[in-house]
Amino acid sequence: MLIDVPKFRESSSLLRYVEPEHRGRNNRPKVGAYRRKEDEDHLSVNSDEVETENQIAATFAAKFHGGSRPVSISGPTVADYNAAAESVGMSVSFDAAKGCWVFGRGGDRSEAYKHRPKSGNRSHCGVEYIRTFDDLSDFKFAVRMARSATYRLV
Amino acid sequence: MLENATETTFSAPQAERENLLVRRAEREKLRAQSLYYFVSPTDLSGALLYGGGAPSENSSAIPAAIAECWHLVKESQLSEEAFTHLVAAAAGRSPQSVRGLLSLEPKSLAAFLHFWGSVRDGSAEPEIGISPKGHVQAEWTKDVEDFLVLEFRPNGEVLFSLWQDGYPTEGVKSPTHLHELCRMFEVMDQNPLSWTDAD
């Protein structure tokens, strides 16, 4: 059952496009697939609560592959992202009052996962806390994410 | 005025030639001392003097960063598969890329190739990748709980993430402390640089 605005349920997947050069052995994404790009202040992902994997693959194909399929997609769950964040020292918790995942401590808390719909890409979301990472934390986070899921060709 | 213009026209190539000779002399000195050999992008033809078979400056087949490190690449004895992958990955990153992927950093590649040259004997060839910033990443995998990832910064620092039985040891090593990392690998039951899950 698809919805217009993702709730980021723990079992939901946040799909990440895997560049052909980041396809590792045994369907494992290389660490570079989850390193933040220069133009990202969030990690770009797509929620399977809003669009099907096939629809998301079509978006990736149009954006990165000149429309040709298949594209490679890795789809860790929100729980995987939370675990990786915790593992590198980032506190992510569910704020029942706001009804969303938040990161940070004390009063300085922000949305951990944000719906960022774009024209022709309505399931686009951001993993927001990566902008607070220094380079080593970003590397450690990328290692965990790359090792938490395989990629598949869709 | 005309005299000045004439002087300028002829003095620049003369200075260039002199610089080239100085650089060649410096390279010879470095080679003699077994230090690393760097071919500048504007002086690739110089590599041919040593029989290196470097690609031409205008070659579109070899990305600039790889051409810059040609002698190191040649001496690295990377497999054809790894070399082909590296070239393809680097070639896919044009300066105009809209995907946020920066060009392969030659200094990062050189740092990796130096490291690889020093540990190659007895090691398995890693999976080589390029980070979005253009830094070389090398991954050795035994299984899901045992793997090693190294990322080579252009300044020679190395980010490392070593996992044994699912537990990580991670950090950054400066170029002068890289030997500590290698020593840590050597005292393990099995050197992670020998790990591979290739068929």
Q: What is the pLDDT along chain A (154 residues), one digit of tens a residue?
A: 899 999 999 999 999 999 999 999 999 999 999 999 887 899 999 999 999 999 999 999 999 888 999 999 999 999 999 999 999 999 999 999 999 999 987 778 899 999 999 999 999 999 999 999 999 999 999 999 999 889 999 9
Distance from CA of A14 to the nearest CA of B (A): 19
Q: Which residues contact B104 (CB under 8 A, 6 or more apart)?
A: B63, B65, B66, B89, B90, B93, B130, B134, B136
pLDDT band at B20 (very low <50, low <70, confident <90, very high): low
CA distances from A152 to A53, B18, B101 (A): 11, 56, 21
pLDDT value at position B124? Answer: 96
Q: Are B125 and B83 in contact (CB under 8 A)?
A: no
Residue A23 forms contact with B (CB below 8 Å)? no
Chain-chain contact of A139 with B141 (C-beta, under 8 angstroms) = no
Residues 133-152 of B with CB under 8 A from A: 133, 137, 139, 141, 144, 147, 149, 151
Total beta-carbon pairs less than 8 A apart between chain A and chain B: 68
Predicted ipTM?
0.94
Q: What is the DSSP string of B47-81?
A: HGGGT--PPPTT-SSS-HHHHHTHHHHHHHT--HH
Residue B95 forms contact with A (CB below 8 Å)? no
Distance from CA of B180 to the nearest CA of A (A): 19
d(CA B93, CA B97): 6
Count of beta carbons in the 10 Å neighbourhood of residue B117: 14
Q: What is the DSSP string of chain A?
A: ---SS----TTSBEEEEE-GGGB-GGGPBPGGGGSPPTT-SSEEEEETTTS-HHHHHHHHHHHHSTT-S--EEE--BHHHHHHHHHHTT--EEEETTTTEEEESSTT--EESEEE--BTTBTTEEEEGGGGG--HHHHHHHHHHHHHH--EEE-
Summarised one tens digit per residue, pLDDT across range A1-42 is: 899 999 999 999 999 999 999 999 999 999 999 999 887 899
Residue B96 DSSP symbol: T
Which pair of tokens denotes residue B188? 């393990």
Q: Which of B100, B129, B159 sits opposite A30 (nearest CB)?
A: B129
Rounded mean pLDDT of B159-175?
A: 96
Which pair of tokens denotes residue A131? 């902008």
Distance from CA of A24 to the nearest CA of B (A): 7
Residue A28 forms contact with B (CB below 8 Å)? yes
Strands B158-164 and B127-130 turn out to be unpaired
d(CA B170, CA A140): 8
Chain-chain contact of A24 with B101 (C-beta, under 8 angstroms) = no
Count of beta carbons in the 10 Å neighbourhood of residue B8: 9
pLDDT value at position B42? Answer: 36
Chain A residues within an 8 Å CB radius of B137: 30-32
Distance from CA of B130 to the nearest CA of A (A): 6
Residue B99 forms contact with A (CB below 8 Å)? yes
Residue B126 DSSP symbol: P
Distance from CA of A99 to the nearest CA of B (A): 32
User: Rg of the Cα trace of chain A?
Assistant: 15
Q: Which of A25, A64, A139 sits opposite B197 (nearest CB)?
A: A25
pLDDT value at position B94? Answer: 66
Which pair of tokens denotes residue B75? 């001496």
Q: Which residue of A has its CA nearest to B134?
A: A32
pLDDT value at position B3? Answer: 39
Chain-chain contact of A38 with B132 (C-beta, under 8 angstroms) = yes
Residue B129 forms contact with A (CB below 8 Å)? yes
Chain-chain contact of A30 with B172 (C-beta, under 8 angstroms) = no
Summarised one tens digit per residue, pLDDT across range B50-84 is: 334 555 444 456 888 999 999 999 999 999 999 99
Chain-chain contact of A140 with B172 (C-beta, under 8 angstroms) = no
pLDDT value at position B22? Answer: 55
pLDDT band at B18 (very low <50, low <70, confident <90, very high): low
